[in-house]
Every structure is written in C-alpha cells, then in structure tokens.
Structure 1
Amino acid sequence: MYAGVGKARQLPYSGCAGCASVSACPTAAKSQGGPCGGVASQLHQDSTPRHAAAAPHSPSSSSCSAVASCCSLSPPPPRGQEQQAWKNGIDRPLHDQALRAQRRARVPEPHRQERLEKARGAGRRAEHNKLKLEVAQWNLSSKLLAGIAGLWILATTLLLTVPEAHGLITYLHWVRWPPSRELTDLVAFRLPHARNIEVHTADGMLLKGWHVLPSHQVAAAASRLPLDSRAREEFFDEAMGHPESRIVLYFHGNAATRGQFNRVELIKALAATMQAHVVTVDYRGFGDSTGWPSEEGLALDARALWAWVEERAGRGEGGAQVFLYGHSLGACVALELARHLPLVAALTPECSDAPDFSSLSPSSSDAKESAPAAPGSLVARRPDAGDVQAGRQANSVTPSGVILEAPFTNLSMAALYHPSALPFRLLPFFKHALILSMHERFPSLEYIQQVQQPIIILHGRRDRMIPFHLGEELYHTARLARLRERPETLEDVWFAEFSQAGHSNMYAYPQWTDELHTFMGSVDGAGHGKAVA
C-alpha cells in the first residue's frame, strides 16, 4: 500500500495496466503461479493512476524487467505529468471517500440511530416548551382580562345601585399618589420657594396646600429666610399683597393629590413662565385635607381658598391680577367660583345687616333664584354688567380671568365618554342608566353662561379622558350666551387647540406658554379685556 489510500481494494485480476493485453504480459502468462501471484497484480492495478493511458508494451523489454516493473509490491514513482497530477491531488475524491467510510465504520449503526432520536427528542421538547409558554401567557392574559372585567362589573353595579359608592368612583380621592411622600415636604417636591398653607372652610373642614412664589428675585429673597419662621410667613404675605403681583388659584382634577407629578410640574411652570404666585389646596377628602368630597363641598373649598387669597392680596391698592385655573374636574370648580362671586355682589339686602354667604352652596343658591322673594330676605338673581361693576367696587380683588384646561360640559358626559364606559355607549339601556345614576352634576355648561370674566379654554386633540368636542361645545355655548346678553365681551372668550397634547401634559408645549402670556396680557387687574397687539 502507498500513502493516499487507506485500504487496498480487492479486485479481480484483469491484467497489467502497463501491457497491451493479458497474453502479452509475462505476469498474466503465469496466471497466479508467478513470482508475485495475483496479489501483486491487483495492487499494481489498484495503484495505477486513473488518468494514465495504457502505454504500449515494448516487445524488446525482457521478461525480468517486465516482471520487476509490473509485479513489484511498491508502485513505481510517478514521472512528468503524472508527478504533477499526484501533487495536485487528483486522487483526492478517492481519499475523501475512504475517510468517510472510516468515520461511518467508527460509529455503529445503533448508536447513530440513538443520536438521531435524541436530536429529534430535543426538538420535540423545545417545541413542547414553547407551546407551554404560549399557553401560560394566554392563561395569564385571560385571568387579567377576567379580573378587569370583574372589577368593571362590580364598579358598574355599585355606581348604579349604591349612592355612597358614587363618590368613591367619581372622585377617586382615596388614591394616594405619590404614596411614600409627605405632602408637606417641599424639598421632596423640589419646591424650595414655597410654603405650606392651611385653609379653613365655612363648614369646619381643614384644607392643606401650597403657596409657590414667582421664580425671580422674590423667591431668591425668600430663600435667605429660615424655614417655618414668622419672618418668612410675613414675607410671603407681603409679596402676595404687592399691587403689581399676579396670582393664580389652581384647582386640580379628580384622583390622587396635589403632589402628583404633572400637577407639580404645572405649578412650577406657572410660577416660572408666568411669574405668578400659585396657590393650590387639596379638596376635602383629598391628600391630607379632612372631610369627604361632594359637589357642594368642593364649591365651599374654592370659596374658602378665594377668601384666603383675598385677605392677603387685598392689602395692596387693587392692582393685582388674580386668575382661576381649573383642570378637568377643577375647571367646573373654577367656573362655579367665577359665577358665584358676582352673585354675592348682586344680592340686594333689604335689611341693614347682611349675613355671611361663604357657606352658600350651589344648590341652595339655585333654589333661591326660583323661589319668590319674601319681605326682608335676600334675593339672588343673575348678574348683569352693573352688578359686576358693583362687585368690583365692593371688593378690592376680583378675578381677572378664568383658564380652563380639558373641561367637560357636565359630569354625565364626562363619565359617558371615559374609556372605561365604552360598553355603556354601545348599549342604549346602560347609557341612559349611567346618565340617570349620576347623583352629582357639575354643570359646567350652565355655569359658563353666567361668568363675566374673560375665559380661555385649552384642549388637546389627543385627550383620551375628556373628548375634544366637549371643550368646543363649552366654547360655543359661552360665545352664544355673550352674544345674546353682552355682545361687547364676545371677544373675551378664547379657545386654544393643542394638536399633539393629551389630557395632562399641555404645560410641556411652547404653545401653552404663548397662549397664557397673550391671554394674561390682554386683561387688566379688574378683569377687563383689552386689545392685543
């Protein structure tokens, strides 16, 4: 054997490749009785290159040389082109075939089948595990959907049948967010130029909130005073009472507290970009305020906060601008306060001593409007321009304007268009049942027709909580009411559309700053609209 072939092939003898015929070969003449026998011939034949052509046998060569050349156990070395072909690996396929045969021989057939079975088993296990994972995910999704559906059915049942549960679902005041922060920790909310305030309502509730200074030299001066010191409190009061100060009363929406992230950022934006004193409280039952929320209770909270601001801002000479800023549910609270202040001024007493009207609720005032007047009683009527002017003369501070962000027309429509109320809109019976089950109204559509001050409505096209068309309806209703009764104030009703904003992120857009700057600059301290350059 020679290098390049792992095992000699046993082939039948067919003559010498170097001879022209079997009879001419001396090795063939001896058949298998020659000196090399058939083995040498077979080896010689097997070692002959396949590309080599049969060379003609020279008759002059002796038989010994023929026997030596043909029957030698070691093949003759290649020459010329044969040697070059040998180096180039012409016989490589034969060598590779032999190696493959050796590899197959090393692996017995049963073990090879076992290995194939293991591979198939591993593939089946991987497919089975993938199927199990999909089933587990489907089961988890089904349980979550079933839980959400169960909660929705429970909430709907409570809303339609239990009046006490209505407040829990409407206000969501029991949601405490952020849960781990004390609302009085101003450092945690990054409000170094603010102070904690307490406001007492007419019915004995305690409201807690913040007073944030404008972000300029006033805040820098306050930062040099010790926290919770008497001097710092007096400095805040004096800054608010400055004749040229700008004050914003902020009324937040339902759920959570004044410490919610978007509300804190809105307060900071108002103080920084509008250079305004921002005063806000948590309604009764919200955050760290006492009591239980209701429509009448929120109205009393707004009036108590207004009295707190009026006491401090009225120390100046009446030049301060005071704006009411309401978001979502707070927009209706701001509208009720704005229409209530001229109503109080329009009450005409027939006796010398007038009682305190701070505890007057919306329902009682509405009832008095429809009831006949008794001798010696106070009559509440819808204010006109003269009443508003009288109110300005009687009070040193009046609202300069009302800012409504993402308002609704009434609570029933807000609940009906909420994302969680989609089944109610699809089923007519449940739709009417939901509207009739609302025990509290918050009728912004009625309140806005009685507001005398300039109004701007801000609404985002991508608002998923309060639909955009509810804000548009409020806007058109306000303009129609002024066109009928006070056409000279028609241009005091503004509407700003935010194409990219949602329900709670308008403050993040430059348009918000531009709209508020223009609106606040268009009114004076007494709430009169003026031409905008």
Structure 2
Amino acid sequence: MGENTNEKNKNKKKTEKNNNKTDNTNKNNNKPNNKTTTNNNNNNKTNNNNNNKANSNNNNKASNNNNNNKANNNNNNNKANSNNNNKANKNNNNKTANNNKANSSKANNNNNNKASNKSNNKKKSSKCTKACLSGLKSLFYLLLVIVFCTHGLLPVFFWTFPEISNFVIFSNRLKWTVFANLSDPHSFGLDYTRNFFLQSKRNIKLGAWHILPDNLRSKGKDFSDNDFEKSLQKSDAPIVMYMHGNSGSRACGHRVKLYHRLSQMNYHIITFDYRGFGESTGIPFEDGVVEDSLFVYNWIRSKVSPDTPIILWGHSLGTGIATRLAKILCDGGMPPSALVLESPFNNILEASANLPPFSLYRPFRPLSYMILSSVERCGTEFASDQNIKDVTSPILILHAEDDGLIPIKLAMKLYMAGMESRPKTSGQLQLVPFDKSFGYGHKHLHSAPNFASVVKSFVESST
C-alpha cells in the first residue's frame, strides 16, 4: 500500500512539470512580435520558393519522366518493332529457307523422278527393243517359212494344175481400167473413134474400136457408124490391126499412145480385146484368141477393097498371136500385107522364164524345170520361132535393148529363126533395135523420135 502511494505522488509531480512547460511555450507563442511576422513572411516566401522549385522540379521530373516514358515507349516500340522485324525477318528467312528447302527437295524429287523416269524409259525402251527384235526375228522366220513353202509348193501346185500357167500367161483378170467405160473411147482421149462389138461363130462377143486417121478427121463433124464403115471402103490408107499383150484391155495408156502415133501417120487402126479381156466374153487360151483374131481380120477384109493393105501389128504376147495368125493366112493363100512385131519373143516357154512367178525359180533348176514344164503341158506354146518359118509376108521386128520383161536376145533368136528357115521368096525381114540409153523399155517404143520414119519406110516398101 505504501509503495503505491509513492508512485502516485511521483506521477503527479511529472504531470505538473509537463503542464508548466506547456504554459511557458504558449506564453512565448502569444507574444506579438514583428520579427516573428517577418520571419513568417520570409518563411512563407521561402516556402513558396521552395514549393515553386519543388513544383518546377516536380514538373521537370514529370516532363522528364514523360519524356523518359516516351523515350522508353519509343525505345520499347522500336525494340518491339525491331523485335517484330527481326521476327518477321526470321520468319521470312525461315520461310525462304523452308522454300529453298522445299524447292531443293522438289528439285531433288524432280531430279530423282527424272532419273527414275530415265531409268524406267531405258528399261521400257530396252524392253521395246527386245520385243521389236523378237518380233522381227519371228517375222523373218515366218517369211523364210513362206518363201520355203512357196518355192517348194508352188511348183508342185503348177505341176498338178497346169491350167494355172494359162492364167499367168494371159493375166486377163488384171484389169488396169476397172471402172473405165470402154464403150466411151472419148474418155480415154480418143476422138473420132467408134466403139463396136463383133459376135463370133462360137457366140463370143468381142469389144473393138475403129480409130480414124488424122487426114480423115473433120472438125465439128459427128461420124456415124455408117461413116466409119464407108471410110474403110473408100480409103487407100493402110489399116493396122492391133493385137495387144497380156493383162488390161485395149484402153491401157501405152496402147492409146500408140494409136495416136499411128493415126498421125494417117493409118486406120482396128483394135480389139480377145475373149476374156475388157468387155469381151469367154475364157482365153491360145487357139481361142487366135480364132478371135482371125475373125476380126476377116471382118476387116470384108469391109475394105481387095487392094487395101492390112498390116498385122502385135505387141508382147500379141506378137505370138499375130505370128500364128500370119502363118494361118499364109498357109491359106491370103498373106497379110505386112507383119510388125513389137517387143516379141521366140516362144512362150523361154519368155515365161523371164516372167514372174516363173522367173523366181531360175536359180533352182529342178524347181524351174518343174514349173516351166507346166507351161508346156497347159497347151499354150505361141511358138513364134516355128510359125515364122511359114510367114512369107514382110516382117519388121522392133525391140528395145533395155526391155526387162522380154530380153532382146529372144527377139534375136526369133529373127535368126526367120532368116534361116523362111522361103527365099518371102518378103523382107528387119530387126530394128532401140538403144538402151533412151529407156524405152517394154512399152514405150512409140515415143522414139525415129519411130514414125522406121514404120513408114517399112510399110511403103512392103505395100
């Protein structure tokens, strides 16, 4: 209890001391003093200055801060832009790199594809080459088999059926003017030509043409059938009875060209198709075609005066027909005025040796003998070298040295046969060769510059 009272007293004393200090302080503060006012003003000024400075400092700091912020923002923006640009550049670089990689990969792929395509193409080409070679080999072997079979079997076939040789010799089925109208000679370039038909005793119809000589042609005049026959009756000009070779008809091109040349020489031309040729009916064989020729000759003789010369003209196979016809007429005491043989042969057997397919077997003698013997057995001979012995009429032989179908050596053999065996009272026998350098061949002797002069000279000396 006593200790608590002492502590209370001590606290009262401290409180009183503090109150006294407070009162002294208030007294001092309450004294009116100018210095204090002045000091206060100065303090206020100072404070204002300080405040202004502080504000200006603050403003400067704020502006600096703003500038710094702007700068920082700009820097940040620049950094951001640079970062973005860097990123964009990196992206572009990455894209470029990726594109380059893609392009390089594409190029590599293309190169790889090209390389693989080349290798595949090489493989394919090698396969194709092998296939082609194997195909060619197979074809070659097949051709060898065909050639062997034909070379081996064809002669046997001809030997068994000799009448096939007749078909080859005449070749009347080879119609070079398939769609041509033989009844209209004008379509073949032949004006002043009459088409007519003759009916033989065996009921064979023969198609024929009568071509007027140039000196009897009148421009603008239409010739009737009667006019053509009258021209034969009144004419003193020679009449050429033309017998064509195998195949085709009287309208073949080289034959028509010959008609023009003979017409320019002022000769009448009577040409016709044997049985089985052109528009003529029947089947050709040696006796048959010779019979047709004799029928036409008798028809001509019936239309002209006895003094009118009739010249038999044969070409190629037609020379065999014309020579045999001349023999028949000479044997009957009615020899023709003259006989002209253009590209002739001596006999059909030797002539056939130069004709395909017979000529293919020439290197193989046994097969050649077999196939040519079928020609002998077919009944067709046309042995002109035998028939010429009995022909007393004047004979003119025309042949080209470059004739590849019937060699001139066969014409030489015929000429020699006539010279050796004809009667001494017979007319002249001439052989006129045409140099091979001109290239007239088998069908174009009519184009020789001296053709007309050779023929005219012979005809004038013979009639």
Is the counterpart of residue 240 in structure 1 residue 219 in structure 2? no
CA–CA separation in structure 2 for the residues paired with 1:292 and 1:456: 30
* Candidates 488, 496, 502, aligned match of 2:441: 502
1:200-219 equivalences in 2 (<5 Å) = 200-214=199-213, 216-219=214-217
Secondary structure of the 1:510 match is coil
How many Å separate the matches in 1 of 2:253 and 2:176?
9
One-letter amino acid of the counterpart of residue 239, structure 1: S
Asked if the contact 2:186–2:193 (Cα under 8 Å) also holds between the matched residues in 1, the reply is: no
Q: In the alignment, residue 166 of structure 1 is paired with which amino acid?
A: S
1:19-418 to 2 correspondences below 5 Å: 109=108, 111-119=110-118, 121-122=120-121, 125=124, 155-214=154-213, 216-220=214-218, 224-225=221-222, 232-272=224-264, 274-314=265-305, 318=307, 320-345=308-333, 391=334, 399-418=336-355
1:424-464 deviation line (CA, Å, top 9, x unaligned): 32233233333432232111001111111111111222222
Higher relative contact order, structure no. (Cα contacts within 8 Å, ≥ 6 residues apart): 2
Deviations 1:199-220 (A, max 9, x none): 2323332211111112x24233
- In 2, Cα distance between equivalents of 1:211 and 1:145: 51
Q: Name the residue aligned to 1:457.
A: 397
Counterparts in 2 of 1:133 and 1:429: CA distance versus 1, 3 Å: closer
The structure-2 alpha-carbon separation of the partners of 1:154 and 1:203, relative to structure 1 and needing over 3 Å to count, comes to: farther
8 A contact 1:251–1:333 mirrored in 2? yes
AA aligned opposite 1:257: S
| 1:108/1:443 CA distance change after superposition, 3 Å | closer
Instruction: Report what 1:83 is aligned to.
Output: none
Residue 470 (structure 1) shift: 0.5
C-alpha separation between the residues in 1 aligned to 2:384 and 2:126? 60
Q: Matched residue of 2:269: which SS? A: strand
How many angstroms apart in 2 are the aligned matches of 1:505 and 1:135?
Answer: 46
Aligned counterparts of 2:188 and 2:144: Cα–Cα separation in 1? 36
- Cα displacement (A) at 1:254: 1.5
State the partner residue of 2:45: none
What's the offset of the Cα at 1:344? 1.2
**CA shift at 1:151, angstroms?**
6.0
Q: Which amino acid counterpart does residue 280 of structure 2 have in structure 1? A: S
Q: CA 1:290–1:121 in 2, change beyond 3 Å: closer, same or farther?
A: same
State the SS of the aligned residue for 1:179.
coil
The residue aligned with 1:522 is: 461
Give the gaps of 5 or more residues in structure 1.
1-101, 226-230, 346-390, 392-397, 525-533
- Give, in angstroms, the shift of residue 321 of structure 1: 2.9
TM-score, scaled relative to structure 2: 0.68
The residue number in structure 1 matching 2:40 is none
Distance in 1 (CA, whole Å) between partners of 2:274 and 2:359 is 29
| Corresponding residue for residue 7 of structure 2 | none
What is the number of equivalent residue pairs in this alignment?
359
Residue pair 1:410, 1:445 contacting (<8 A) in 2 also: yes
Distance 1:300 1:111, change over 3 A: closer
Aligned to 1:386: none
Note the C-alpha offset of 1:419.
4.1
**Structure label with greater radius of gyration:** 2
Task: State the Cα distance separating 1:150 from its structure 2 match.
Answer: 5.6
Change (3 A) 1:113 1:176: same
Q: How far apart in 2 are the matches of 1:156 and 1:471?
A: 27
Q: Residues 148 and 425 from structure 1, CA distance in 2 versus in 1: closer, same or farther, beyond 3 angstroms?
A: closer
Q: What is the aligned partner in structure 1 of residue 27 from structure 2?
A: none
Which AA in structure 1 matches 2:111? Answer: R
Q: CA deviation at 1:233?
A: 0.9
Q: Which residue identity does 2:216 align to in structure 1?
A: V
Q: What SS does the corresponding residue of 1:522 show, helix, strand or coil?
A: helix
Equivalent position amino acid for 1:218 in 2: L
Percentage of matched positions with identical amino acids: 25
Kept in 1: contact 2:338–2:393 (CA 8 A): yes
Counterpart of 2:89 in structure 1 is none
Greater mean alpha carbon deviation, residues 436-445 or residues 304-313: 436-445
Q: 1:488 to 1:294 in 2, by over 3 A?
A: closer
1:421 alignment partner in structure 2: 358
Q: Distance in 2 between matches of 1:175 and 1:488?
A: 38
* AA matched with 1:160: W
Q: CA deviation at 1:185?
A: 2.2
Alpha-carbon contact 1:478-1:493 (below 8 Å) kept: no
1:472 corresponding residue in structure 2:
412
Q: Which amino acid aligns with 1:411?
A: I
Relative to total residues, which structure has the larger helix share, 1 or 2? 2
Q: State the TM-score, normalized to the length of structure 1.
A: 0.60
| 8 A contact 1:241–1:312 mirrored in 2 | yes
1:493 is the counterpart of 2:430: yes
Distance in 1, Cα, partners of 2:357 & 2:147: 10
**Do structure 1's residue 443 and structure 2's residue 383 form an aligned pair?**
yes
Check the 8 A contact 2:330/2:390 in 1, yes or no.
no
Worse-superposed segment, 473-482 or 510-519: 510-519
For 1:342, the aligned partner's letter is C
Distance 1:329 1:155, change over 3 A: farther
Q: Is the partner of 1:284 in helix, strand or coil?
A: coil
1:264-297 CA distance string (max 9 Å, x none): 222233223x221111111112221122211111
Distance 2:363 2:399 in 1: 26
**Corresponding letter in the other structure for 2:324:** E
Letter in 2 for 1:326: G
Superposition misfits of 4+ residues, deviation over 4 angstroms: 104-111, 119-155
SS class of match (2:172):
coil
Find the counterpart in structure 2 of residue 59 from structure 1: none
Alignment-mate amino acid for residue 281 of structure 1: F
Any conservation in 2 of the 1:498–1:506 contact (CA below 8 Å)?
no
Q: Is the 8 A contact 2:172 2:248 kept in 1?
A: yes
1:423 Cα shift? Answer: 4.5
Q: Is the 8 A contact 1:404 1:455 kept in 2?
A: yes
